[in-house]
């Protein structure tokens, strides 16, 4: 089953959000407009708007206000993707050429800045201090997370808590914020909004851990990039941290990456097979499941409604994700 089936009944609302996304980024300059709309048309799961919508459905749902929050969050996410492609020098995203590849870094920087500004212009039509403090804090934390990720590259001595803090900033915070914004906009009581924030946070942690596992367990064809590419780029993820508790793998990785700039795809075969011999993948899935359980627990006191059921279904879907 595809994740979109769990929230198929939101299609009409998602179409309204899609239409609004297109309107908001209508730039005047043809290249800026084309770059932004191409990115939009490349699609994506729109998972952040889905979380805003579902949380919103639990309160006094007003599509106009919910739409503003959902559009802003998706634009913030999109802006970070455009800039991330410059950072990672990526040529493809979702199977299509990136803006930096189609044009150049300069156009990608201007497009990302334009999209982020569009998001802030949009969200400030809602005058609610709680919304802006939360969102602003999240944006700053996401940036710090990305800076930390670069700082911690090839650091084989980092601790588990460093990894967890990094994925919190990289993925979990924006999903948690999506859930809470939907709740605030729909006037849910603070305690409920906080429960939804926790749900989003735990889901985000679980999702990112599985993503990091898949980097080792999926084929290059499934990933659209070489297996173990995260590690090749120097990103030390959970499976690696667990596997490094095995002395021989620990030696292998330190030896392989003694000169990181010389490591090529072929060198990764021994590392990948070494990692598979440890219990790192199983332990990573266990931690992901633990976060999923916490996500489901956070929903316990949320009123029983269809949207709650969908949030539970999404959690279960994420838990079963193996490709």
Partner 1 sequence: MNTPSIEIRHLKALVEDKIRHAYLEKYMQKPIIDEEKLTILAAIINNTALAANQKERYIITTMLVQVALDTHELVPKTNNSDESEELKLSKQLSVLAGDYYSGLYYLLLSEIEDFDLIHNLASAIKEINESKMKLYYSKESSFHEYTNLVKEIESILILKVAKYVDDTSLDYVASEWLLTNKLIQEKRKLVNNESSSFVDNWLRNTSQDSYTSTLNTIETIIEDKLQQLERSKLNLPVQYTAIKAHLDSRLNEYIRENISIAEEG
* Residues found near partner 1 in the complex (CB under 8 A): 27-29, 31-32, 79-80, 83, 86-87, 89, 104-107, 109-114, 116-118, 120-121, 124-125, 127, 129, 132-133, 135-137, 139-140, 142-144, 146-147, 150-151, 261
Q: Which residue in 24, 124, 7, 145 sits closest to 74, CA to CA?
A: 24
Closer CB to partner 1, 98 or 206, in the complex: 98
The neighbouring-strand residues paired with 97 are 92
Nearest in space to 318 (alpha carbons), one of 239, 236, 213: 213
Phi-psi region of 12 (alpha: psi -120 to 50; beta: other; left: phi over 0): alpha
Q: Which is closer to partner 1, CB of 146 or CB of 246?
A: 146
Task: Provide the total of helices (H) and of strands (E) in the chain, helices listed first.
Answer: 18, 2
- Please enumerate, as own/partner, the contacts of 216-225 that have beta carbons within 8 Å and a separation of 24 or more: 216/272, 216/275, 216/276, 216/281, 217/281, 217/322, 218/323, 222/323, 224/92, 224/95
Three-state secondary structure call for residue 227: coil
CB of 119 to partner 1, least distance (A): 8
Where b means 16+ CB within 10 Å and e means fewer, 104-138 reads eeebbebbbebbbebbbebbeeeeeeebeebbeeb
Q: Minimum distance from CB of 232 to partner 1 (Å)?
A: 15
The least distance separating partner 1 from the CB of residue 43, rounded to whole angstroms, comes to 23
Minimum CB distance to partner 1, residue 35 (Å) = 9
The nearest distance, CB 100 to partner 1, in angstroms, is 8
Q: For residue 246, give the nearest of 205, 283, 219, 208 by alpha carbon.
A: 283
Q: In terms of CB distance, is 110 or 285 closer to partner 1? A: 110
Of 268, 275, 218, 273, the closest CA to residue 244 belongs to: 275
DSSP letter for each residue of 146-183: HHHHHHTTT-TT--HHHHHHHHIIIIIHHHHHHHHHHH
Is 28 or 301 the residue whose CB approaches partner 1 more closely?
A: 28
Closer residue to partner 1 in complex, CB, 175/318: 175
Q: How far is the CB of 132 from partner 1 (least distance, A)?
A: 4
Q: Which is nearer to partner 1, 50 or 231 (CB)?
A: 231
Residue 75: CB minimum distance to partner 1, A: 11
Nearer Cβ to partner 1, position 154 or 317? 154
């Amino acid at each position: 089953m595809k994740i979109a089936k769990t929230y198929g009944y939101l299609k009409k609302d998602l179409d309204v959000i899609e239409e609004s996304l297109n309107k908001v980024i209508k730039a005047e300059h043809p290249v800026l407009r084309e770059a932004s709309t191409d990115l939009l048309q490349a699609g994506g799961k729109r998972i952040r708007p889905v979380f805003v919508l579902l949380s919103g459905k639990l309160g006094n749902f007003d599509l106009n206000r919910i739409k503003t929050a959902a559009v802003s969050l998706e634009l913030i996410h999109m802006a970070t993707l455009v800039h991330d492609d410059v950072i990672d020098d990526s040529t493809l995203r979702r199977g299509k050429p990136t803006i930096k590849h189609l044009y150049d870094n300069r156009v990608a920087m201007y497009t990302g800045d334009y999209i982020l500004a569009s998001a802030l212009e949009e969200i400030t039509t809602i005058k609610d201090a709680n919304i802006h403090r939360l969102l602003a804090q999240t944006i700053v934390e996401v940036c710090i997370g990305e800076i930390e990720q670069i700082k911690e590259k090839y650091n084989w001595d980092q601790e588990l808590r460093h990894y967890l803090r990094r994925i919190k900033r990289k993925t979990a915070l924006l999903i948690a914020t999506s859930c809470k914004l939907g709740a605030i906009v729909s006037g849910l009581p603070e305690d409920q909004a906080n429960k939804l924030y926790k749900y989003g946070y735990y889901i985000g942690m679980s999702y990112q851990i599985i993503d990091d596992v898949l980097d080792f367990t999926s084929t290059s064809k499934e990933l659209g990039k070489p297996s173990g590419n995260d590690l090749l780029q120097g990103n030390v993820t959970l499976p690696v941290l667990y596997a490094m508790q095995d002395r021989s793998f620990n030696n292998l990785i330190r030896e392989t990456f003694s000169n990181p700039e010389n490591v090529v795809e072929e060198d990764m075969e021994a590392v990948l097979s070494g990692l598979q011999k440890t219990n790192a993948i199983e332990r990573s899935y266990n931690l992901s499941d633990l976060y999923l359980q916490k996500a489901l627990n956070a929903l316990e006191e949320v009123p029983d409604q269809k949207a709650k059921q969908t949030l539970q279904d999404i959690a279960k879907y994420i838990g079963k994700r193996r490709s």
